[in-house]
Amino acid sequence: MNRPNILLALCLLVALPASAQLRIEGQTFDAGVRVADSELRLNGVGLRAVAWLKGYTAALYLTRTAATPAQALAMAGPKRLQLRMLQDVPAAEFSKAFDKGVTRNTAAAELPALRERMLQFEHLVAAVGKVRKGDVVDLDLLPGRGLLFTLNGKVQGAPIAGDDLYAALLRVFLGDKPVDVDLKAGLLGGRVS
């Protein structure tokens, strides 16, 4: 997407009324959601793809617009990263991608403090067995409570404590070595397809 189109997409995101929706790869994302008694607005959407294989679409919801990873990560309050699966993915692959992404985007000195909670999250994912095409995965930050994993509207276990864990999760998508650079740009409002 060229620079004028990126600016147009950013303006459209800022100007979206609360009832508006965005579509990408046949998936519709609402302009706003409610998390932890707070209204969040759609920051951006994107597609995770490798060559011709489309894995999932994603949307980032925040309390206000963020155009950079630093803004999104530093923003206080609840957050939601929503994944809409376009392929079946075994839990082991989902967990492997999470672990790899966190490790690549987190300082080595910070990883030991995260390891036990990363394993807790991976156990929640393993209990699901597989995320299937059409599934909706919500990864919410509940301030003071931590990361909440919801699959198709059903909460999977208790929240996993720590805003630092949620920041590590977001860096998988928004960090210096994101899972997909185009997805990162989309989540930051830079690309609407």
3-state secondary structure of 33: strand
Over range 164-188, report the average pLDDT: 97
Is residue 45 assigned to a domain?
Answer: yes
- Is the residue at 193 inside a domain? no
Portion of the chain with pLDDT greater than 90, in percent: 83
Q: What is the pLDDT of residue 42?
A: 97
How far is Cα of residue 69 from the mean position of the Cα atoms in its chain?
12
At residue 99, does pLDDT exceed 70?
Answer: yes
Residue 192 included in any domain: no
Range of 72's domain?
3-187
Contact 61/40 with Cβ under 8 angstroms? yes
Whether 171 is in a domain gets the answer yes
Q: Is the pLDDT of residue 89 over 90?
A: yes
Residue 81 belongs to domain with CATH number: 3.50.70.10
Mean pLDDT of 151-158: 96
Question: Total domain count for the chain?
Answer: 1
Q: 51-55, 76-80, 97-101: lowest mean pLDDT where?
A: 51-55
Residue 73 lies in a domain: yes
The predicted-structure confidence for 111-126, as pLDDT tens digits, reads as follows: 999 999 999 999 999 9
In 3D, which of 131, 171, 140 has the Cα closest to residue 158?
140
- Asked if residue 89 belongs to a domain, the reply is yes
Spatial contact of 166 and 147, defined as CB atoms under 8 Å apart = yes
- Does residue 48 fall inside a structural domain? yes
Instruction: Output the pTM of the full model.
Output: 0.87
Buried b / exposed e over 164-186, threshold 16 CB at 10 Å, is: ebbbbbbbbbbbeebbbebbbbb
